[in-house]
Chains A and B, each alone.
Chain A
């Protein structure tokens, strides 16, 4: 059994949902055109993750195996609807406008269902909560980092504050979807490079982590249960 702090901290680097697990690409690429959008999306997803992980770990003892996926989806959808209502009521209008359509789509974000199915349904409440919190924070950090780089390359600004004042005309590429792919690719390359260097220093060979891709999820093997 791994320690509680590991369950929390793994989401930041070792099993970062965006940069290692490569889950939830739709919101990652779509909303990170500015750092503030990334932060809003990340926090909303983190809230849903923590809530759904707690509830799923509580009910996983009694949910019939045959219908566990629909049950989890209903739980997740409930949390997402609550987030959407709360954002409409209290979030700044500009953020609400920018995120608009992507908030309901958190329901189908692989991170949320992935953590519910792969972790929360097999672990206790406390561990699941920490896992959700760590994954949510890791997701938020990755989104903010991507958003910062994209926003800066677009117009020399960060969080809507212009850092380089003479930069008058925005670049199109970093703020559009193709640029998002390019920058995400650079992030992944940097991440792999750092991990590899670390492994070589300690005298090991670095292999991309096994079981961190879609194979950890048993959705494809439903009929074999």
Chain B
């Protein structure tokens, strides 16, 4: 029987099946091989973001987490990473998402002081239009040819690159004493937040998601802090496993 010219549908089916099985085996092998490095990569990305958002800590904020429902109609989950020094909580980072970005999902992380004041905002995942929406969401060092050659101004890598839209949230909290009216809105909608012309949707989405983090923290402040304040180093990991069920 000439395999190359066969038209027997059963032979053809078996042949295709064998090819498929072989490639499935190869893919499974590589999936297994890369599982650990991929997990480590994601872990290091979260840890890097947390380091930028939180003050000095000596616990593992990526382990000490609590997820609460957001303080609005959508009831999106908001995840808080807690930074501790000794047994004392020194700061938090909230992570929340919105689907109202121009490219759909937009995930932000905000560092919070204990009184709910925002320290820093970064966008960890976005799908905005390059050049328009990304003006709102990206923090990027501008490396110039002079930096490479070692002349001219040095880049201060200890600080986050500035972004005028994200930086304006710094120092604001979602309580009544704050100078911004709640809920936070961009100026176009009658609020206090500056926005980028041409990227209003992205600006709105960022404002919404940052306000979600800030207001959810204010509403659940006691619950979050009670959970971690004064707990010994072993206890939080038990807490986090409970909160991760959500």
A residues whose Cβ falls under 8 Å from a Cβ of B: 33, 59, 61-67, 70-71, 74-75, 77-78, 81-82, 85-86, 88-90, 93, 154, 160-163, 165, 170, 172, 175-176
A65-B15 in contact (CB<8A):
no
CA–CA, A163 and B143, complex, Å: 9
Question: Among the listed B4, B30, B131, B143, which residue makes an inter-chain contact with A176, where contact means beta carbons less than 8 Å apart?
Answer: B131
B146-A93 in contact (CB<8A):
no
The minimal Cβ–Cβ distance linking A218 to chain B, given in whole angstroms, is: 16
With CB as the reference atom, state the residue of chain A lying closest to B7.
A66
A161-B37 in contact (CB<8A):
no
B131-A170 in contact (CB<8A):
yes
CA–CA, A89 and B41, complex, Å: 6
With CB as the reference atom, state the residue of chain B lying closest to A68.
B4
B37-A165 in contact (CB<8A):
no
A161-B26 in contact (CB<8A):
no
CA–CA, A176 and B132, complex, Å: 11
Query: Cβ of B114 < 8 Å from any Cβ of A?
Result: no
Beyond A89-B38, A93-B45, whether A78 also contacts B131 by CB under 8 A is no
Beyond A78-B23, A86-B30, whether A64 also contacts B5 by CB under 8 A is yes
CA–CA, A33 and B3, complex, Å: 47
CA–CA, A210 and B145, complex, Å: 44
CA–CA, A33 and B143, complex, Å: 18
CA–CA, A107 and B51, complex, Å: 38
Question: Among the listed A71, A82, A93, A175, which residue makes an inter-chain contact with B27, where contact means beta carbons less than 8 Å apart?
Answer: A82
Residues of B within 8 A of A162 (CB): 142-145
With CB as the reference atom, state the residue of chain B lying closest to A163.
B145
CA–CA, A53 and B6, complex, Å: 24
